[in-house]
Structure 1
Amino acid sequence: MSEGNGPTEGQDKVQSSAPPNAVWPLRDKEGNVTVPFAYGTIAFWQGKRAQEYQTHKWHVYVRGANNEDLTPLIERVIFQLHPSFNNPTRVIDTAPFHVCELGWGEFEITIRIFFHDGPEQGLEIKHMLKLFPRVGEPSQKKPVVSERHDEFVFNAPNEGLLQRIGMCNTRMPNGGPAWATIEPFFSPLNEHEELLRIQAAQRRVQAEITLVKEELENEEQILSFLQDEVKKLEPSIVKKPPGT
């Protein structure tokens, strides 16, 4: 899946062009504190002259939904790459939480996120590295972006965690040149689309609940019918005395 040793990117300071973020922290009706974030991959085709095992330069990352600096909240992110890479377990303990590599094949990346003052087990998500466009031929001008918006949800966070969440209200200032390369291709958080996605998921869950209830009602009707049939048969059953 990989050529082996990927490029090492510098960490020069650049100014983020991310849009302003929402008011933090965010709370839902149940009192849970939520932090929107995004994760994904961006892959650049290296052209027809690229080496056989270096056809794409790709990036995998975790970021704030509007490119906020999540360093106060996130302790470290572990990216588990394909075992063919040198050092496939990449531990990133400061923003940007990001890995850049060269390779030729698609594979599933496991991303484990650990929080300061948060649950010890952290959060594990999986994301498929996409190198090839769904339609048409690869282009050096347009990378393949596979990104998803989601939320960290903290149930009754302690005071330390709550303070850290409140500190994640500034745009990340130190992205570096590799980050500057992919930042223009980040998808902005669209609250309307996100709401529609959540509502669609809720409808699917409700439909599944309704289906289970209907199946349960059918089972109860069958059970009731069988019990009635047994009662009808009981008077006709003649018990023989013992020993006969």
Structure 2
Amino acid sequence: MPAPTGTKRVRGVQIYRPFVYGTEAIPFDPENRPKDAPPDHTHKWKVFVRGVNNEDISYWLKKVQFKLHDTYANSVRMIESPPFEVEETGWGEFEIAIKFYFVPESNEKPQQIWHGLKLHPYHGDIEQQKRDRSMVSSVCYEEVLFNEPVEAFYDILTGGPQVGKSKSGKGGKSAVKALPTAEIPLKSNPGNKFSKEEESKELDRLTEAAKTVQRLIVEEKAKLVKEEARLQELEKTEGKPVKKK
């Protein structure tokens, strides 16, 4: 019996789509404090889900739910169109639940991840960043995997260029949207640090770190052999230590 329309899956196929998520926070300027911020709040912050390099992800992601701390009014925020983000003010750090709802054609269940809101600098020159009131950015790269997607969703994920409506009226050329991609950019830029270039640098750093670990292991083994030899010499001249009961 054939599968109902819209539920037949493309067997043996896995498709992934990359995205970034995280938070950005900046301390209030004491001389230009937001008028609507509660007296105990110290920072303005934002939580977001974006495409890598701000690419469009709305063709597979329908809406995003952000679950804030219970002390916030309306702590569950549902964002139903891009940009998928929530702006707030606050004074403390907490875990934010981020729930993804895919487009109806996907026939996929929602997925959830967690991310910790960071208000204070945690690397680099921390004291200087505090003095400068620098933005604190905590961003993660992630990929969502669609295992054997249904045929309609497969077409959306892999379909060719889509023709949009013309803005110039009759006789005008239609705009062509770029083919959806799962590739990260070749080079990094100020607005996006996730790229093949940075990936290559990270692999180089991991390779060097592995070499350092191996060198330290060899050095520690040599020290251990030397100490064991010294212990044997002491046992010959001084005798074995007596264990106390």
The two structures have a TM-score, normalised by structure 2, of 0.57
Q: Which of 25, 46, 64 is 1:43 aligned to?
A: 25
Is residue 95 of structure 2 the alignment partner of residue 108 of structure 1?
yes
Q: Structure 1 stretches (4+) deviating beyond 6 angstroms?
A: none
Corresponding residue of 2:53: 66
Shift of 1:71: 1.4
2:130 is paired with a residue whose SS is coil
Question: Percent same amino acid among aligned pairs?
Answer: 34
Shift of 1:152: 1.1
2:29 is paired with a residue whose SS is coil
Shift of 1:163: 3.0
Q: 1:119 to 1:147 in 2, by over 3 A?
A: farther
1: CA distance between counterparts of 2:131 and 2:23?
Answer: 16
Q: Deviations over 1:76-128 (max 9, x none)?
A: 10000000001000001101100000111110000000111335432111000
Q: Deviations over 1:1-54 (max 9, x none)?
A: xxxxxxxxxxxxxxxxxxxxxxxxxxxxx7421111000000011134546422
Shift of 1:75: 1.4
Is residue 193 of structure 2 the alignment partner of residue 188 of structure 1?
yes
| Structure 1 contact 145–185 (Cα < 8 Å) conserved | no
- Which residues of structure 2 form unaligned runs of 5+? 1-11, 162-176, 180-188, 207-245
| Structure 1 contact 52–104 (Cα < 8 Å) conserved | no
Q: How much is the aligned-residue C-alpha RMSD, in angstroms?
A: 3.0
Amino acid at match of 1:114: Y
Is residue 140 of structure 2 the alignment partner of residue 148 of structure 1?
yes
Is residue 106 of structure 2 the alignment partner of residue 118 of structure 1?
yes
Q: 1:138 to 1:166 in 2, by over 3 A?
A: farther
Q: Deviations over 1:196-244 (max 9, x none)?
A: 57xx7xxxxxxxxxxxxxxxxxxxxxxxxxxxxxxxxxxxxxxxxxxxx
Q: Which of 2, 9, 16 is 1:34 aligned to?
A: 16
2:149 is paired with a residue whose SS is coil
- Which residues of structure 1 form unaligned runs of 5+? 1-29, 172-183, 201-244
Corresponding residue of 2:74: 87
Shift of 1:141: 5.4
Corresponding residue of 1:162: 154
2: CA distance between counterparts of 1:140 and 1:46?
Answer: 11
2:193 is paired with a residue whose SS is coil
| Structure 1 contact 46–140 (Cα < 8 Å) conserved | no
1:94 is paired with a residue whose SS is coil
The two structures have a TM-score, normalised by structure 1, of 0.57
Q: 1:119 to 1:192 in 2, by over 3 A?
A: farther
User: Which of the pair has the greater relative contact order for Cα pairs under 8 Å at 6+ separation?
Assistant: 1
